[in-house]
Amino acid sequence: MTISVAVAGATGYAGGEILRLLLNHPAYLAGDLEIGALTGNSSSGLRFGTLAPHLPQLADMVVEETDVETLAKHDVVFLGLPHGYSAAIGAALPPETLVIDCAADFRLRDPWAWEQYYYSPHAGSWPYGIPEMPGHREQLRNARRIAVPGCFPTGATLAALPAVKAGIAEPDLRVVSVTGVSGAGKKASVPMLGSETMGSLKAYNTAGRHRHTPEIAQNIAEVTNKPVNVSFTPILAPLPRGILTTVTAPIAGKVPAGKIATLAREAYEEAYRDEPFVWLLPEETQPQTQNVVGSNMCHVQVEIDMEAGVVLMTSAIDNLTKGTGGAAVQCMNIALGLEETAGLPRQGVAP
């Protein structure tokens, strides 16, 4: 049986990345997966090749309007839509359809947190798509509704979770993430113009205002009984892709000082030993965004700053791959019982 896939918001960055990966998926190359409707309201009626010339295999397809009737004809529907649009579509699609939402609509479990940050009624929560988190891979198997995580929470969670889980770092996190401009989406915006971003760095949505703050806290809370505190500062950099995240947290008080570095290293080795898309780098090697571009990898590092009394945790991801489109395809693979790594590159593009 051939799996049919539709992508809503196909002309956006998330939709385009999903399609790039699907075109190299073994099931697609074998004829067992077909790409059906490509939808997008503002570009409906246009040839896809004029909008996404980097995907020549799909050049002659025509963008359709995003409507439930069109999407319901497919086995898998990826939603690459702005926040707030997925809830109604997800509710209207048949329950047997695998719906994978790249927006935030179903990520948060706490209605209060959702309403505080997104200013709309809470639509509920779906299985959350970071398979590397304890228990989440099992939740994704055979699921028919999946919430793809935010790009910042992906990097921050994979950086910090092993240390907090092992009781090495207190769940009092200071998270700083430097991100490329594609994280803002493919829309006209003066702050994203080249003349505004080239040669410049800027912190934005500071002092707890960024919407990914409660998502990071929610993830870390799954592995500790202590209260979780997250201070998150994103920084915009003149890069097309990539997120470099640093997380600092106080060393847990009961950890022996002479063993802290060894215990931290062992905790990360244990957490990620069997994870195909997370690589604990050799000691004294720092993650770099240039090494993960185009890949579904997260590179991580952990160090101890004894003078400051903190654990330093670092990660690098491609925000459009592991941070969005790659995570979506990884979740599809798990939910459909396919090889989890199918169609997902581990190698980056260099230089």
Catalytic residue among 102, 151, 298, 331: 151
- Active site (annotated) includes residue 102: no
Measured CA to CA, the distance from residue 91 to residue 145 in angstroms comes to 10
Helices 326-336/13-22 angle, 10° precision: 50
In a 13 Å sphere around the CA of 268, the CA atoms on its Cβ side amount to 28
Residue 135 burial (CB count, 10 A): 10
Measured CA to CA, the distance from residue 329 to residue 19 in angstroms comes to 9
C-alpha distances (whole Å) from 232 to each of 4, 136, 209, 235, 332 are: 39, 24, 9, 10, 29
Question: Are residues 313 and 163 in contact, defined by beta-carbon separation less than 8 angstroms?
Answer: yes
Tokens of residue 322, six digits? 């592991």
Residue 172 burial (CB count, 10 A): 17
Closest by CA position to 6, among listed 39, 28, 33, 43: 39
Q: What amino acid is encoded at 14 in this protein?
A: A
H or E, element range at 229: strand 229-236
Tokens of residue 173, six digits? 């996190």
Instruction: Tell me which residues are annotated as active site.
Output: 151
